[in-house]
Amino acid sequence: MSAWLIFFSLFVKPFTQSIPQPFAVLPFFVIVLYLAFQVSLDPQGILKAKVFQGKVILYFALLTLSEIVLLIWNYSKFGSDSQDFNILGSFVGFISTIISFLLVYFLLYFSIKSDFDMQRFIRGSMLTLFLMGVFILLPQLTVAAGKNIFLGWANLLDRSILPRWEIPSEYLRGSYVATLHRANGLEIEPAFLAGQLSVVFLPWILSAIKHNFSFLKNKFGNFPYEAYLLLAFIVITLVLAKTTTGLVAIILTALIMVSDLRGPIQKFFIGAAVLALFLLGIAYFTLPRINGFLNNYLFAKGGFSASDRIGGTIGLFLTFLHYPLIGVGNGYIGHYLVEYVPRNTKLNIEYLWGFSHRYSVLSDWGGFFAQYGLLFFLPIVKKVRELFYNFRTQIVQDDLTFFVKDAAKYTMIIYSFLALFDFNWLSYYSLISIFVFVRFVQYRMDEKLVVKS
């Protein structure tokens, strides 16, 4: 099963809008069926296993209690209107997120129990990227580039397995990519695709390059040709996705390659980065197309969408500064955004028609801090530090440990920076990509205890 985890997790189109999204997508049904099968094999096993630490249970218990108190408090202030999903819907949405965490945790607990399972997970993830590249991304990139060879296929995929916004103008030619000429993969929009590629796949590719790990041969000490090809393909996709998230991911990738690699490879990438910056600088000042592209998606992004995104992000952090300890909860954040978003960012049609009625969270970090505050963020920092401490001191220090540890480090770096924007960071694929490192350390520590005993 470990080889298929990422493959199934990528299908994020909900089957219905009448229940919380985590329960309406293909990964949910696959995970539930798999867990039911595992429990049926050993009904008492899960009860005997010490799956959770007491501190983790206490954290989620306090988080749930805080959410209930804040929902009641906000309901007493605002009642139920268009800026929220009503008190019951908000609580159900919160609980669905907690259940998603539990499902992913148990999924990894049952499916990854050894180095063999971990290696199958890594290779399965890369095979998934290859298949998605061939059957999804290459046709979309071709259409995005203005060639309609695969237009019918791209439109079919969009109608059948891709989620859609309720904005008909974005699908006039049958699909998102055909209408807007921006690749969106299996996600609802390019920014989410960029987050997916960067968090799920890039860390393993960068770590493979650093440690000369061949995905095809499943061995260290081999020049990873396939890792370089996959890296180049991801970078091209991120460029043609035409999104700020993708360009930031490319910058982060470049910084990692010039700062964390070692030896001749690092020197090569430093030279390549300097040359690329030089050529890009010339192109920016001499080629209007490059100038417009970088301004539109990086340096001077404008328009109603950018104004609302900037205003919403400022509003989220101002909300956090007003309620820094436990935030305002996840059910009524729209009321606070309407109050704290800068007035000059509200002067557009998109705000008047949409965000003034329901203001979306457009920065993942801003949303977390505003809704849950510092008291629920600091334990996460502590757990991340504990994870890397265990990587260094509590498990066997072999090639696989170094490889997985660097992948974990790159995941945390990319995840942290991209979460300043908005991507599908609580999807099943994102949760799997984080918790898999926790699971690696867990089973390695368990093996160490068995050897000692």
Is residue 82 scored above 60 in pLDDT?
no
pLDDT, average across residues 263-272? 79
Tokens of 246: 């993708």
Q: How confident is the model at residue 91 (pLDDT cuts 50, 70, 90)?
A: confident
Helix then strand count (H, E) for the chain reads 22, 2
* Band (261; pLDDT cuts 50, 70, 90): confident
Calculate the average pLDDT of the chain.
85
Question: At residue 152, does pLDDT exceed 60?
Answer: yes
What phi and psi values does residue 327 have, to the nearest 5 degrees?
Answer: 70, -160
Please report which confidence band the pLDDT of residue 147 belongs to, taking 50, 70 and 90 as the band edges: confident
pLDDT above 90 (res 117):
yes
Please name which of 311, 412, 442 lies closest in space to residue 366, comparing C-alpha atoms.
311
Tens-digit pLDDT profile for residues 53-62: 778 888 889 9
- The reported pLDDT for the residue numbered 208 is 94
Write down the pTM of the prediction.
Answer: 0.89
pLDDT in tens, 404-439: 999 999 999 999 999 988 888 889 999 999 999 999
Q: Which are the contacts of 159, defined by CB distance < 8 A and separation ≥ 6? A: 174, 175
Radius of gyration, alpha carbons of the chain: 23
Assigned token pair, 51: 């799956």
**Helices 428-452, 115-132: crossing angle, 10 deg rounding:** 160
Q: Is the pLDDT of residue 218 over 80?
A: yes
Question: Of the ranges 168-177, 281-290, 294-303, 361-370, which one carries the lowest mean pLDDT score?
Answer: 294-303
Q: Find all residues with CB under 8 Å of 45, minimum gap 6, and list them.
A: 39
